[in-house]
Each structure stands twice: as structure tokens, then as C-alpha cells.
Structure 1
């Protein structure tokens, strides 16, 4: 199992959440997909393995993972999408994303536009920001 995934599982345990196979498999799915996916995609992928698992169980776990900063969340077309935190356990530094609106694939963008905005907002204290570029990746653009 990947070190990033093991580190994420260790956080679950440290925070008092049971290391159930469902939780492990949800995180593993997000890690392997390496793109933004909907809760329904996670549910559909795992429901054959866990026949009694409810959609609410998936969503609740995704919420818990978000609270622990194990996953990233964005909104595309009015729906929450989730992905394994791309810099979890690494020191990629501050970065942003290009997100494909068709397939959810992401690419890191190292340039941050906040320096420009800080100049535009003298005296303001910026507490947080999020910058995403949305469009179609080269594969989806060719379709």
C-alpha cells in the first residue's frame, strides 16, 4: 500500500475513527482515481463489494475525511466532488488546480494569483483563498 494512503489511515486511527475495510476502500478508491469524483461514483464503485452499504455511509465518511484534511472537495455543476488530497504527506507547497469538467482529472498549478490580488486589496487581511481553473483536459477536448 502507498505511503500516502498509509499515512491517511494512521490519521483516522489517531483521530479515533475505526479503521474499517469500508473506510480503507473509500480512501483507496480516491487515491487510485486521482481525480475529482462524486459520492455516487464512490458508492457505485464499492456497492458491489459492500452490498449492505448505504449512500449515506459513503457520504458521511467523505465528510469525515474532509474534516481531517485527507481529501479535497470542490463543486462542479452544483455537485460536491472529492479527491484524495494531492499533497497529503508531501511538501508540494502551495498550489492550485486545473480541473476537467468532463472527467474530473486534475493538474497542479504552481503559480498563485494572490500576489496580484493582495496589491489590489491594501489594508485587507486575506484569511484563505481557493483558485481553480475549470475546463476540458486534452483527452476530453478531442472527443
Structure 2
């Protein structure tokens, strides 16, 4: 009987230590979940801004595609219109998107390989989120010259 009482006396602080370890494990798990949640929100915001940049670039590409079947000089006029100071910046949700259009320049290749009546156009959208981001869309437009 003395032996059993001795064992019970030696185990008197274990319940408190078990509770402290359990609380510590739960706290570490909650901190990890909070960090994951914060990271997920940042990724969502970045994806939203990239989606807006895609929409802006697609809108400008559609504007350029409206000249499909026209002369390359008509396409150049639209490119110049897009690049004007009042047309090449867009503010959405506190972010400034800068738009740059190019078309038919020698650096772009000017035509689709094997097709002389296809005209390469490119729209680039840049924004800061907090680092500089850029998105580039390009397509070919059929011209009559």
C-alpha cells in the first residue's frame, strides 16, 4: 500500500504539464492557420489585379481587332490612340495600370511566318503590386495591304 501511495505522489504535476503542452500545440496550429489565411488573401488580391490587367489588355486587343481587314495604317492609328497620355493609364481600386500597344514594328516581326497579310499587335499592361508586374497579350490581325 505504501508503494501505491508513493506512485500517486510522484505523478502530481503531470496533468498540468499535459495541459500546457496541449495548449502549446493548439496555439502553434492556430498561428499556422492565421499565417496561411493571410498568405491566401494576398494571393487572392494579386490574382484579382492580374485578372483586371487581362481584362484591360483584352479590351485593347478587341479595339485593335476592330480594324481586321483594314490597312496597316489604320491599325497604326489605333495603336497611337491607345498610347496617348489620356488613354494609356487606368486607375482601378487604387492601382494604376499603364497600357502600351505596339503593332507592326520590326522588333515584333511584322507578319506571321508565311502570311504577308497578317499584322502582329501587342498590348502590354504594367502595374505595381507592390512589385512591378507586367502582362503581355499579342495577336495577329489580317490586313488588306
In the superposition, the TM-score normalised over structure 2's length comes to: 0.24
Higher strand share: 2
In the superposition, the TM-score normalised over structure 1's length comes to: 0.25
Larger radius of gyration: 2
